[in-house]
Copies of this chain bind each other. A is one copy, B any other.
Amino acid sequence: MDLSIIGYDPVGAWMKTAGTAEELLSYRNPSGITWINVEGIGNKLDIVKLAENYKIHPLTVEDIMDTEQRPKAEEFDDYIFITFKAVNRNRTSEEGTNIFEQMSLVLMESTVITFQEIPGDSFNGIRKRILNNAGRIRKMGTDYLAYAIMDAIVDDYFLVLDKLGSSIEDFEDRAVDERDDNFIRDLQGVKQSLLHVRRIVWPLRDSLSMILHLESKFIEPELEPFFKDVHDAVIQAAETVESYRELIAGVMEVRLSMMSHRMNSVMKVLTIISTIFIPLTFIVGVYGMNFRFMPEIEMRYAYPIVWGVMILIVAGMLIVFKRRHWM
């Protein structure tokens, strides 16, 4: 478990790292804002110690450590608790798809605590802005810090969506390649990834909407446009997911129609060949019979006449096939 603590106020800023909760709790920032970041949530003892120190409810601790917890926001007397999923920047799955991790944020009067399932995050930009006093962040409260963190995390969703978007475009080309045996399986993979993003985005949308309608002492009215902006980005992500689902449905339709069209054309070839040659084979079979009394057999021009008849039959059939647009 990696612990880091950043303290800042409009005048100055400092950052420390710690190995244990006890060590971390020895650092104090009496006047300004404190941001504690916990990476790795396996060590229950340390998290409980931290929670007790900051009066965090045991049920919140349970949610922080539950990596299956769905995104939600809850207001307590001493803090607002938000839990959601973040794109992990350091790892991808074997198939190259992104891994999401459990991320929790406790927003208090003068302290923000973030908990990450996996070490490594997208917060370097925010840390630099604090330490270098860039933009307005040093002049604002914990609510702005919470906004900045969520903004960074939601921006990462679009990286994942862009990757999914371009892989859907690949499928648009693959849809007409008849030898692509893994098409459906691969497309299902993308679809399930998309549904995974959806399950991450939708509840966050509701949570942010809940925060927007909360008249909490932890969020200044002046911060409303900022939280609205994150909310809006999450809605945009949700709509992108829906439009990708429609694209996938379209690709699927093209694929199925291609396969059915191909089946039709295979059947047509079979039918044309059979329809032409089966009757001819019957005719030549007739004159292969060994009856003693078959007058045609002895006729001088029987053989060329049979050929002529067969050519006429083939010609007639070809005309019918042309008319029916089978050729």
Cα-based distance from A301 to B291 in the complex (angstroms) = 9
What are 27 A-B pairs at a CB distance below 8 A? A63-B232, A69-B236, A70-B232, A72-B232, A74-B225, A179-B325, A188-B250, A192-B247, A195-B243, A203-B239, A252-B253, A259-B260, A263-B267, A269-B275, A270-B270, A270-B275, A273-B279, A277-B278, A281-B281, A281-B285, A284-B285, A284-B289, A285-B288, A288-B288, A291-B297, A293-B299, A293-B300
Contact of A291 among B69, B278, B287 (CB under 8 A): B287
Given the complex of chains A and B, what is the CA–CA distance between A264 and B261 in angstroms? 11
Which residues of the other chain, B, contact A262 by a CB distance below 8 angstroms? 264
- Whether B294 lies near A303 (C-beta < 8 A) is yes
Q: Is the CB of B298 within 8 A of A292?
A: yes
Q: Are A264 and B259 in contact (CB under 8 A)?
A: yes
B261 contacts A259, C-beta separation under 8 Å? yes
Q: Is residue A11 contacting chain B, with contact meaning CB distance below 8 A? A: no
Secondary structure type dominating chain A contacts: helix
- Measured in the bound complex, the distance between the Cα atoms of B202 and A246 in whole Å is 16
Q: Is A15 an interface residue (CB 8 A)?
A: no
Docked Cα-Cα span, A192 to B168, in Å, equals 14
Interface string of A85-110 (1 = CB under 8 A from B): 00000000000000000000000000
Q: How far is the CA of A262 from the CA of B184 in the complex (A)?
A: 13
- Per assembly, the copies of the chain total 5
Contact present for A264 and B264 (CB under 8 Å): no
- The verdict on A14 contacting chain B, using a C-beta distance below 8 Å, is no
Chain B residue at smallest Cβ distance from A177: B325
Q: A261-B259, A290-B289 are in contact. Are A274 and B284 (CB under 8 A)?
A: no
Q: Check: A216 CB closer than 8 A to any chain B CB.
A: no
- A 179-225 contacts with B by CB, 8 A: 179, 181, 184-185, 188, 191-192, 195, 199, 203, 225
Interface residue? A266 (CB, 8 A): yes
Report which A residues bind B (CB closer than 8 A): 57, 59, 62-63, 68-70, 72, 74, 76, 178-179, 181, 184-185, 188, 191-192, 195, 199, 203, 225-226, 228-229, 232, 235-236, 239, 243, 246-247, 250, 252-254, 256-264, 266-271, 273-275, 277-282, 284-294, 296-303, 306, 325-326
Q: How long is the Cα–Cα vector from A164 to B179 in the complex, in angstroms?
A: 34
The verdict on A266 contacting B264 (CB below 8 Å), with A74-B228, A247-B192, A287-B291 known, is yes
| Docked complex Cα distance between A184 and B278 (Å) | 35
Q: When the two chains form the complex, which single residue of B184, B281, B326 contacts A257, counting CB atoms closer than 8 Å?
A: B184
How distant is the Cα of A280 from the Cα of B285 in the complex, in angstroms?
A: 9
Instruction: Taking A259-B261, A287-B289 as given, write out 9 further A-B residue pairs in contact, using a Cβ cutoff of 8 Å, ordered by the A residue number.
Output: A184-B258, A188-B250, A259-B264, A284-B285, A284-B288, A288-B290, A291-B296, A291-B306, A294-B303
